[in-house]
Amino acid sequence: MPLAKALELAQEYDLDLVEVAANARPPVCKLMDYGKFKYESAMKAREARKNQAHTVIKEMKLRPKIDPHDYDTKKGHVVRFLKQGDKVKITIMFRGREQSRPELGFRLLQRLADDVADLGFVESNPKQDGRNMIMVLGPHKKKTEAMAEAREAQAARKAERQQGSAPAEAPTEETAEA
């Protein structure tokens, strides 16, 4: 269709003539409301960003001579991070004479890796880096899966709460007269 006729048609329907494929022979154009098209594409991009998962590396610092209760607390944090789908960098800090016994830190990291083996895997093995020993744990499930599970669990809790707070029965005649 000639350009003049296409422009006339677009004006008649109060639409815009938008070039879709400029490199095609002949160039392809489309009649559309361009403002609405831009808005819808922006909304799609926004929705895609909302559902996008950002990989985060959480860090947990330990010492070789850690108390059992402190170890359990730190392990609980690591478990929570892995359940959320985040990677965890575990750092053991050596001070003074502790530097001469890196096997203590290595054993502690191996113990932690074995304790959380059902939630994550060792992404990088323990490495000595100056005064620190570092290991990275990765989750078995992806961040998006963890986010979806969390949303489902939250919806289930909300539904359960709403069922628990169902409206009480209508007042009987005896209570209404009082």
Q: Tell me the C-alpha distance between 132 and 87, whole Å.
A: 19
Question: Which residues have a Cβ under 8 Å from the Cβ of 115 and sit 6 or more positions away?
Answer: 75
Q: What are phi and psi of 43, to 5 degrees?
A: -65, -40
The H or E element that residue 93 is part of is strand 87-93
Structure tokens at 105: 């830190």
Tens-digit pLDDT profile for residues 125-155: 999 988 999 999 999 877 777 778 888 888 8
Three-state SS letters, 5-63: HHHHHHHHCCCEEEEEECCCCCCEEEEECHHHHHHHHHHHHHHHHHHCCCCCEEEEEEC
Question: In this predicted model, what pLDDT tens digit does every residue of 14-43 receive, in sequence order?
Answer: 888 888 888 888 888 889 898 998 999 999
The per-residue pLDDT for 54 is 72
Q: 173 pLDDT exceeds 60?
A: no
- Homologous superfamily in CATH for domain 57-139: Translation initiation factor 3 (IF-3), C-terminal domain (3.30.110.10)
Q: What is the pLDDT of residues 50-82, one digit of tens each?
A: 777 677 799 999 999 999 999 999 999 999 999
> Residue 103: what residue type?
E
pLDDT at 166: 56
Looking at every residue in the chain, the average pLDDT score rounds to 86
Q: What's the pLDDT tens digit per position in 84-127?
A: 888 999 999 999 888 888 999 999 999 999 999 998 899 989 99
Task: Determine the CATH number of domain 3-51.
Answer: 3.10.20.80
Domain positions in the chain are 3-51, 57-139
